A and B are shown apart, each in its own frame.
Chain A
Amino acid sequence: MIGTGLSLERRIQIGFGIAVAIIVAVGAVALRSTEATVSSAQWVAHTLQVRAELEAGFADLIEAETGVRGYVITGDTTYLAPYHSARATLNSRLAGLRALTADNPAQQRRLDSLDTLVATRLERFQWTIETRRTGGPAAAARAVVGGRGKELMQLVHDVITQMEEDEGRLLAQRAVTLQAKARLARLTAWTGALVAFALAGLASVLVGREMAGRRVAEQRLRLLVGSVRDYAIYMVDPAGYVKTWNAGAERIKGYAPPEILGQHFARFFTPEDVAAGRPAAVLHAAATEGRYEEENWRLRKDGSRFWADVVITAVRDDRGALLGFAKVTRDLTERKRAEQALRASEERFRILAVTANDAILSADRHGHITYFNPGAERIFGLRSDEVIGQPLTVLMPERFREAHRAGLARYVATGEARVIGKTVELAGRRNDGTEFPLELSLAAWKHGSEVAFTAIIRDITARKEGEDQRRRYAAQLEAANKELEAFSYSVSHDLRAPLRGIDGFSQALLEDYHDRLDDTGRDFLQRVRAGSQRMATLIDDLLSLSRVTRSELQMAEVNLSALAAATAAELQKSDPTRAVTFAIAPDLVVRADPGLMRIVLQNLLGNAWKFTAKRSPAHVEFGVTANDHGRAYFVRDDGAGFDMAYAAKLFGAFQRLHAAAEFPGTGIGLATVQRIIHRHGGQIWAEGAPERGATFYFTL
C-alpha cells in the first residue's frame, strides 16, 4: 500500500486524474502536430497550385500567340478564339495567383512584373490584330516581324520560371517541415500512449493490490467472525432469514450452517415469544433504533433453552437502504445460573442472619452500626432503625466504652487486633440499661478499601447461670469426694483398729486363760477371731472398690497375657497341691490402666481358681474372641459354674451365689471388676451353668 492517509477511492481518483491529464496533453500535442501536418500539406498543395496556375497562364499566352499568328496569316477570325479566351482567363489567373501568394512578398513583386509583361503582350496582340485587319497580311507580318513579341514571351517565361523555382524551393522547405512535424506527432503519440499505458498499468497494480488487501482483510474478518465460538454472530436479511452463520452460532444454538442458512430466525425464539410476535418486534425495533438489545430465553436446536444476551444491529448501505441485521448472541446461562445461585446464597445468608437467635451486627471503620439483625433487636431491646448509624458503644456498659474506642482506633491505625478473630466474654447493655453477660465473636473484613466489622453476639445469661450452677455442683461434688475420701481413710484406719483389738484380745484370752475355758468357750473365741478377720477382708475389698472409682486412669500398653501368666503362677504358688491347667493365649496387648487390669485378672482368675477347687484336674483358659463389639477377652473355667437365672446378680457388691462355707469370698470382687471395665468404656458379662463351669467376657 502507498503510505498516505488518502483513501483508496481518492488515490484511484487522483491516479486516474493524472492519467487523463497526460492523455489530454498527449492528445493536444498530437492534434497540434496533425494540424501542423495538415497545414504543411496544404502548403505543398498550394505550391503545386501556384505552379499549375503559372504554367496554365503561360500556356494560355502561348495559345493566344499561336491564334494571333494564325489570324495574321489567314485573316480568319476563328483563330482569334484562344486569344479572347486567354484575355478572359489570364486576369483571373493572375488575380488568383496574387491571392495564393499573398503571404510571399517576393512572389507578389514578381507577379507585379508578370502583370505588366502579360498586359504588354496582350497589348501587342491587340495591335497586331488591328494591323492585320486594317493593313492586311503584309502589314501584319511586318508588324509581327518588327514587333518585340519574342522578347516579351522570353521575359514572361523568365518571370514564371523564377516564380516556379521560388515555389519549388518553398515546396522543398515545406516538405522538410512536414516530415519533421509528422515525426514529432508520431513521437508525441507514442510517448503519450506509453505514459498512458504506464499509468494504466500502475493504476491497475495499485487497484489490484488494494483489492487483494481488501480480500485478505475480508477473509480475515470472515475467519475471525467464523471462528468466534463464544458468540453467535450471524446475519439475517431484512425479512429475518439467516444469511451467515459462524462457529459460535453453531456451538451455541446447535445448528450446522447448511441446516440453518435460509431459515427464518424466529425458530430461535421460545414458542411464547413467537406467539407474542417478538421476532418481528425485535427486528422492527432494531430497524427503527438502529440497535436492539435484550436478555431473554432462546431455544437451541434440541429445544433446550438458554439465557441469551442478544444484540441486533440494523445494517444499511450508503443510501440508508436496509440490507439486513447483524445479530450477536451470547449464552449467559452459566452466568444466569451463577447469579441465581448467588441470589439464592444471599437469600440463605439473609435468612440465616434474620432468623439467627444470636445478635449479628456490622459496623463501619468508625464503629458505627450498619446492620442489626432481629436477634440483635431482641437481645438489646433496640429496633434496627434506632441503632443504624449509632456507635457500637450504645450497646456497651459505660465502663467498656473507652476501651472499645481505643481498641477500634488502634486497630484502624495499626491493624493490631486484640479481640478480632477471637471469642471473648464481655458484658452488654440493653436498652433499658440492664447489663447482661455476652459472648462476642468479632471479625474484620474489607468493604471495598474500607475496614468493616461483623460481630456475632450471644446472650450467655442462661449459660452463665448454668456454669455457675455447674461450678456449684462441681464444688459440692468435690466436697463430697473429699468427704468420701476422708471417710474411706477413716474406715481403713479406724474400723480396723477395733477389729485388731477384738482379734488380739481374743487371742490373749485363748493364750492366757486357756485352762479356764472349756472347748465351747475356746470355739466361741475362735469364731470371734474369724469374724473380725473376715470383716477386715471386707473392709479391704470395699476400700479397693472405692479406690477403683476414685483413681485416675493411667493408660498404657498392657500385656494381658503376661499379666494373666503372672497371676496364674501366684495362684499355683499359693496352693501347689492343686492340679489346675492354665491355657493363656499369647500376646494379648491392650491399652488400659495396668494396675486396674491386674485387679481384673486377679479377680477373674482368682474366681476361676476358687470355683474349680472341687475339680481335679481343673482347666482355666484366658483368651480372646470376636463378637459384635469387637474383641472380647474371656476367662473360662470348668468349675462350679452358676445358674444363668442369677447372672444379673453376679456383679453386684456383696452378692454371692455360693455359700461362704462352700467358697469363701466377700462378693465385692466382680463388682470391682465391673467398675474397672466400665471405667475403660467396656462391657462385662458372664455365661455359665451349674457344675458346667463359667466364662467371663469383657471388652475394653
Chain B
Amino acid sequence: MHDRSILLVEDNPDDEALTRRALAKNNIQNEILLARDGAEALDWLFGTGAHAGGAATPELVLLDLKLPKVDGLEVLRRIRANPRTRLLPVVILTSSREEKDVVTGYGLGANSYIRKPVDFGQFVEAVRQLGLYWLVLNEPPPNPDAA
C-alpha cells in the first residue's frame, strides 16, 4: 500500500506547504503521506488508530523532531525497534541544530540529518538533493510486506 510514497511528518502547515512546493519544484511525484504529529506517523506505519486499514510502507520518511504528542526522536526509536520498519530510510528534517538532537538522532539510526534552511532557495536545493539521493540513487531495502 502506498508504494514509493514519502511519509512527511510535519506539524507546521507552512512547513508542509513549503516542503510540498519544494518537492514539486524538483519534480518529485511520489505520493505524500502526511502525519501532523508523532502518533499519527506511527499509525501510518503500523496501521493503527486513524490508519487502522493497513500499515503504509513508504520509501522515505521525512521526520521533524519537535512534534505534538510523540516527538520525532521517539517515533524514530519505535521505527527502529520494529522489525518491519527497522530498515526504513528516515531523514530527520528539522529546525534544530542542537548537538544533542543530532547525536541522539544518529544514535537512534537516522539515515540523514538535515536542518531546514530559512532561505527557501536553499531549502529547494536541499530537497532536490534529498529526493535525488533517496528516491533515485539509493537502492531501498526489500519491502518486508512483499516477502
Is there contact, CB below 8 Å, between B14 and A503?
no
Which candidate, A319-327, A494-502, A565-573, is the interface stretch facing chain B?
A494-502
Is there contact, CB below 8 Å, between A493 and B118?
no
Q: Does B97 contact A (CB under 8 A)?
A: yes
Q: Quick one: closest A residue to B21, CB to CB?
A: A508
Which residues in chain A, 488-526, are within 8 Å of chain B measured between CB atoms? 488-489, 492-494, 496-501, 503-508
In Å, the complex CA distance between A193 and B17 comes to 162
Is there contact, CB below 8 Å, between A489 and B118?
no
In Å, the complex CA distance between A555 and B92 comes to 32
In Å, the complex CA distance between A494 and B65 comes to 11
Q: Quick one: closest B residue to A490, CB to CB?
A: B66
Is there contact, CB below 8 Å, between A499 and B66?
no
Is there contact, CB below 8 Å, between A489 and B96?
yes
Q: Does B119 contact A (CB under 8 A)?
A: yes
- 12 further contact pairs, Cβ within 8 A, besides A493-B96, A501-B18, A507-B121: A492-B97, A492-B98, A493-B65, A494-B66, A498-B14, A499-B118, A500-B120, A501-B14, A501-B15, A504-B21, A508-B21, A543-B97
| Interface size in chain A (residues, C-beta < 8 A) | 23
4 cross-chain pairs, A with B, having the tightest CB-CB distances, nearest first: A536-B118, A501-B14, A504-B120, A504-B18
Could you write out 6 A-B pairs with CB less than 8 Å apart?
A493-B96, A496-B118, A498-B14, A500-B15, A504-B17, A532-B118
Q: Does A533 contact B (CB under 8 A)?
A: yes
Given A494-B66, A507-B121, A536-B118, A500 contacting B98 (CB threshold 8 A): no
Cβ-neighbour of B12 out of A489, A497, A529 (below 8 A): A497
Is there contact, CB below 8 Å, between A500 and B121?
no
A273 to chain B, nearest CB (A): 90
Is there contact, CB below 8 Å, between A503 and B21?
no
User: What A residues does B14 contact at CB under 8 A?
Assistant: 497-498, 500-501, 504-505
Q: Looking at B17, B18, B98, B120, which has the most chain A CB atoms within 10 Å of its CB?
A: B120
In Å, the complex CA distance between A489 and B14 comes to 20
User: What B residues does A499 contact at CB under 8 A?
Assistant: 118
Q: Quick one: closest A residue to B13, CB to CB?
A: A501
A276 to chain B, nearest CB (A): 93
Chain B residues touching A, majority SS: loop
| Interface size in chain B (residues, C-beta < 8 A) | 20
Is there contact, CB below 8 Å, between A492 and B21?
no
Is there contact, CB below 8 Å, between B95 and A503?
no
Is there contact, CB below 8 Å, between A533 and B119?
yes
In Å, the complex CA distance between A499 and B123 comes to 13
Is there contact, CB below 8 Å, between B15 and A497?
yes
Is there contact, CB below 8 Å, between A504 and B123?
yes
User: What B residues does A497 contact at CB under 8 A?
Assistant: 12, 14-15, 95
Chain B residues within CB distance 8 Å of chain A:
12, 14-15, 17-18, 21, 65-66, 94-98, 116-121, 123
Is there contact, CB below 8 Å, between A493 and B66?
yes
User: What A residues does B121 contact at CB under 8 A?
Assistant: 507
Chain A residues touching B, majority SS: helix
Is there contact, CB below 8 Å, between B123 and A500?
yes
In Å, the complex CA distance between A500 and B65 comes to 16
Given A500-B14, A504-B18, A508-B21, A493 contacting B119 (CB threshold 8 A): no
Fill in one digit per residue for A52-72: 1 if any B CB lies within 8 Å of its CB, else 0: 000000000000000000000
A596 to chain B, nearest CB (A): 13
User: What A residues does B12 contact at CB under 8 A?
Assistant: 497, 501
B75 to chain A, nearest CB (A): 16
Q: Looking at A489, A497, A498, A508, which has the most chain B CB atoms within 10 Å of its CB?
A: A497
User: What A residues does B98 contact at CB under 8 A?
Assistant: 488-489, 492
User: What B residues does A493 contact at CB under 8 A?
Assistant: 65-66, 94-96
Q: Quick one: closest B residue to A536, CB to CB?
A: B118
Cβ-neighbour of B116 out of A498, A500, A532 (below 8 A): A500
A335 to chain B, nearest CB (A): 74
Q: Looking at A496, A498, A499, A532, which has the most chain B CB atoms within 10 Å of its CB?
A: A496
In Å, the complex CA distance between A508 and B95 comes to 20
Cβ-neighbour of A496 out of B18, B65, B95, B120 (below 8 A): B95
In Å, the complex CA distance between A498 and B120 comes to 12
User: What B residues does A496 contact at CB under 8 A?
Assistant: 95, 116, 118
Given A497-B14, A500-B14, A501-B14, A492 contacting B95 (CB threshold 8 A): yes
B38 to chain A, nearest CB (A): 15
Cβ-neighbour of A503 out of B17, B65, B94, B120 (below 8 A): B120
Is there contact, CB below 8 Å, between B97 and A533?
no
Is there contact, CB below 8 Å, between A500 and B96?
no
B7 to chain A, nearest CB (A): 20
Cβ-neighbour of B118 out of A494, A505, A533 (below 8 A): A533
A66 to chain B, nearest CB (A): 193
B72 to chain A, nearest CB (A): 11
In Å, the complex CA distance between A489 and B94 comes to 12
Is there contact, CB below 8 Å, between A492 and B96?
yes
User: What A residues does B17 contact at CB under 8 A?
Assistant: 504
Is there contact, CB below 8 Å, between B96 and A503?
no
A490 to chain B, nearest CB (A): 9
User: What A residues does B116 contact at CB under 8 A?
Assistant: 496, 500
User: What A residues does B66 contact at CB under 8 A?
Assistant: 493-494
User: What A residues does B96 contact at CB under 8 A?
Assistant: 489, 492-493
B28 to chain A, nearest CB (A): 17
User: What A residues does B97 contact at CB under 8 A?
Assistant: 492, 540, 543
User: What B residues does A529 contact at CB under 8 A?
Assistant: 119-120
In Å, the complex CA distance between A503 and B66 comes to 21
In Å, the complex CA distance between A496 and B119 comes to 11
In Å, the complex CA distance between A111 and B121 comes to 203
In Å, the complex CA distance between A281 and B77 comes to 108
In Å, the complex CA distance between A501 and B15 comes to 7
Q: Quick one: closest A residue to B100, CB to CB?
A: A489
In Å, the complex CA distance between A500 and B15 comes to 8
User: What B residues does A543 contact at CB under 8 A?
Assistant: 97
